[in-house]
Structure 1
């Protein structure tokens, strides 16, 4: 093939590729634009603006943990809220808004997340998170409490149950596990065909390695946020994506974007190797509520069913049409289940 012809073919390929990228970009912007033009019932919701009395705790390995005490300080029952991976205590916005009038609340940022200190080389295991939760309860909960965990926060509760089972039934009078798993996350398909899911799982460790080595550079690309991240979160985090508030999606995306890539990479192996199914029997000692979105791709319904099978006294609530961020997508349903749990805990305390 002549040099002129090769250049022509290469130019055609580059031109076609450029046209394809441009078309995809325009389509993406068009899709996001249409979403943002729809009525947004949450546009005036004060996401991230609720604040309580700030407290800083120091763990046994020297990490500063940010916590907030909110609600009725004189309430006989405290609710301890443990957030998920890449989020912060602000992810409990609707639960804080609904429960703060009648209960004492303790919200905390898991190590390296939110306003808690970020320390390189720190222990990012689920076992360490369980110890952190124990510290939060020891220092900030004077009486009985109910612990609530979403995603990684649920795993944190499981680790505490394994480490300090004597707390359950005594200090801890109830547990809620929301959109979480007791293990086998590495087998989750994300709703993809088996072959494609396998490819994704093979590719993720390499991506995590890049995030760990070049975190600062990666974070620069994440700082402004993108239409792609908006659409991806809307698809994976929420079930009934047609009705989800763009303001809510932006709020969640801002929490994820505020989590450094190095932190995301450091916690990822702990999530994949988490296995606490055989440690859940202790939860039979207290009222337990398991809540999961019907369309959760990240911690699928089968994982909550497995937890329910290991804790036969638990109540399983499946929320139709919702995904992994069920406490934000359908807060009324989640809050109703939590209030029933809290009522049961209070009755058993009498």
Structure 2
């Protein structure tokens, strides 16, 4: 599906069904350097179970036009505009990693636009390694390697894909290799510079679920637990043995947590 947001042509997956603005909307927000493809399984489930779905490529990512957005706060404002462009009054926001910060900030800044948030691999702080930032700024493949190596949990690093014949390391790297130059650095910098997570969490008034990886090296479980504690009434789900790339490592468990099982 194509939408116009801020005058730019934006692509969003609709989960395999025609978009219906009369149904409850779920917006899926990808992480740094990635795109809508990480949401194939949960997007399809929600689209076939009474919801409308938008899994957008953020501006400057994937199939979307427009300039990269340099801050989490500005990305959150953009999400509010996306919801308006879709003709929906409100949306449940589901975010992974950087996307979780966007969802959190949007719930804080635009409470009238957000009905619920689900934060996957979230943390109270998302500071980024200086080596990773330097490599990403140079558009060096080392940055992609670091994200892949640090992003996967132990079992996933040995293989461990639920789909026979797929290699999670290579799959993640192929998506990042297709990301336009500058996008990964832009996104990592936005995460690194964002300091409002606890403040934003305290302002959240909608239902919140945090889905966290027990062995996450990029947003450690301790940081995710701290963030969950700052959101009144938040539900916390910990996936045993999982790293940061939860949607690839334990897709069924992530989906179960999203639908409340």
TM band (smaller chain): 0.7 to 0.9
1:247 aligns with 2:166: yes
CA contact (8 A) 1:155 1:182 kept: no
Q: CA deviation at 1:234?
A: 5.4
Structure 1 residue aligned with 2:14: 69
Structure 2 residue aligned with 1:280: 201
Of 69-78 and 272-281, deviating more is 69-78
Structure showing greater Rg: 1
CA contact (8 A) 2:150 2:217 kept: no
Q: CA deviation at 1:319?
A: 0.1
CA contact (8 A) 1:81 1:108 kept: yes
SS at match of 1:80: strand
SS at match of 2:122: coil
1:142 aligns with 2:88: yes
Q: Cα–Cα, structure 1 residues 156 and 235, in superposed 2: closer, same or farther, change >3 Å?
A: closer
1:233 aligns with 2:148: yes
Matches within 5 A, 1:103-118: 103-117=51-65
Structure 2 residue aligned with 1:100: 47
Q: CA deviation at 1:75?
A: 6.7
Q: CA deviation at 1:239?
A: 3.8
Distance 1:141 1:179 in 2: 29
Aligned with 2:254 (options 334, 339, 343):
334
Q: CA deviation at 1:154?
A: 0.8
Aligned with 1:158 (options 97, 100, 104):
104
Q: Cα–Cα, structure 1 residues 208 and 317, in superposed 2: closer, same or farther, change >3 Å?
A: same
Give the root-mean-square deviation of aligned CA atoms: 2.7
Superposition TM-score, scaled by structure 2 size: 0.85
* Structure with the largest fraction of helix: 1
Structure 2 residue aligned with 1:129: 75
Aligned with 2:31 (options 73, 81, 84):
84
Q: CA deviation at 1:148?
A: 0.5
Q: Cα–Cα, structure 1 residues 207 and 145, in superposed 2: closer, same or farther, change >3 Å?
A: closer
Structure 2 residue aligned with 1:315: 235
Distance 1:272 1:130 in 2: 16
SS at match of 2:166: helix
Distance 1:273 1:327 in 2: 25
SS at match of 1:340: coil
Q: CA deviation at 1:144?
A: 4.5
User: Structure 1 stretches (4+) deviating beyond 6 angstroms?
Assistant: 228-232
Deviations 1:143-193 (A, max 9, x none): 54311011111111122233223x1xxx4221100002232524xxxxxxx
1:265 aligns with 2:171: no
Distance 1:152 1:205 in 2: 15
CA contact (8 A) 2:106 2:114 kept: no
Give the count of matched residue pairs: 252
Superposition TM-score, scaled by structure 1 size: 0.65
Distance 1:74 1:262 in 2: 33
Q: Provide structure 2 residue ranges, at least 5 long, that are not aligned to the other structure.
A: none
SS at match of 1:240: helix
Q: CA deviation at 1:332?
A: 1.3
Structure 2 residue aligned with 1:173: 115
Structure 2 residue aligned with 1:210: 138
Distance 1:63 1:74 in 2: 20
Structure 2 residue aligned with 1:42: none
